[in-house]
Amino acid sequence: MKFMIAVDCDGPACVVGDPSKALSFSRDMPFAREQATRETDAAARALFDAGAKHVVVWDNHGLGANLVFDRLDRRCEVMLGTGFGRRFPGVDKTFAGVLMIGYHAMEGTPNAVLAHTYSPHTYQAIRVNGHTVGEIALDASVAGEFGVPLIFLASDDHGCNEALRFMPWIETVATKQGLGRNCARSKHPAVAEEEIYASIRQAVERITEMKLFTFDHPVQVEIRFKKVTQALKARIRRRGSRMAGEKTIRTTLSSMLDWRC
């Protein structure tokens, strides 16, 4: 079996960032990258212990070079850096499943820790086929285009609830209870790691129950930006886009393989 673990840094245990800052520029970032590494390592060990032969870790926070790579299980391979043509780079139909570690709820989610959608300074809302979505559903749908299901997610409780609204069959671990953008009641980091390990073992045992998550084709995408200038630039940069309001653009994709965040 082959799996890919997608890793963000906002959702691990005890990570809350600083007010008015993206996590990457907060004093919390050094701990965030270490805890994301530990939770990812727990996930990888669970997969290998469940019989996986190939585990790829995809570091997708910010510029894609955040984890303490030499502390990961040495059997892992790592996708890192920027410039990939799509989300879940390298995933194809030979993968049995994908997992998400350290993810977070979408922009505008009340009391969710560090809630945003891809960029805290850019996107106010993204709607696909009429549904407001965040990174969890958007990324899962890309894997789904290849026939690969999301089987597990670790996030705060709001991120877990968001994932389960779209994919109620997956296993989740809530690393912390979000009480505000920069405050939470968190599990001890070691406890979160233990729960991630156990839950992923269960997810692999249930893998035949996991379903694909995809959007109907063609895919209608509406993006509302936080600034007018961002929307105008995006309309030019995103071929086929049109203005649908002062800060909003719309476009039609043949599938989510054409999605670029």
Residue 242 maps to a domain: no
Residue 180 maps to a domain: yes
Residue 258 maps to a domain: no
Each residue of 147-168: pLDDT tens digit? 999 999 999 999 999 999 999 9
Residue 240 maps to a domain: no
β-strand pairing of 54-59 with 123-128 = unpaired
| pLDDT at position 174 | 98
| pLDDT at position 76 | 98
Residue 141 maps to a domain: yes
| pLDDT at position 159 | 98
Residues lower than pLDDT 70 in the chain: none
| pLDDT at position 130 | 96
Residue 254 maps to a domain: no
Structural domain total, the chain: 1
How many helices (H) and strands (E) are present in the chain, helices listed first? 5, 12
What stretches of the chain show up as alpha helix (H) in DSSP?
A: 29-49, 135-145, 157-166, 189-205, 228-237
pTM of the model: 0.97
Residue 157 maps to a domain: yes
Residue 41 maps to a domain: yes
β-strand pairing of 54-59 with 77-79 = parallel
Which CATH number characterizes residue 143's domain? 3.40.50.10780
| pLDDT at position 239 | 84
| pLDDT at position 20 | 87
Structural domain for 193, as ranges:
2-105+134-214
β-strand pairing of 248-253 with 242-243 = antiparallel
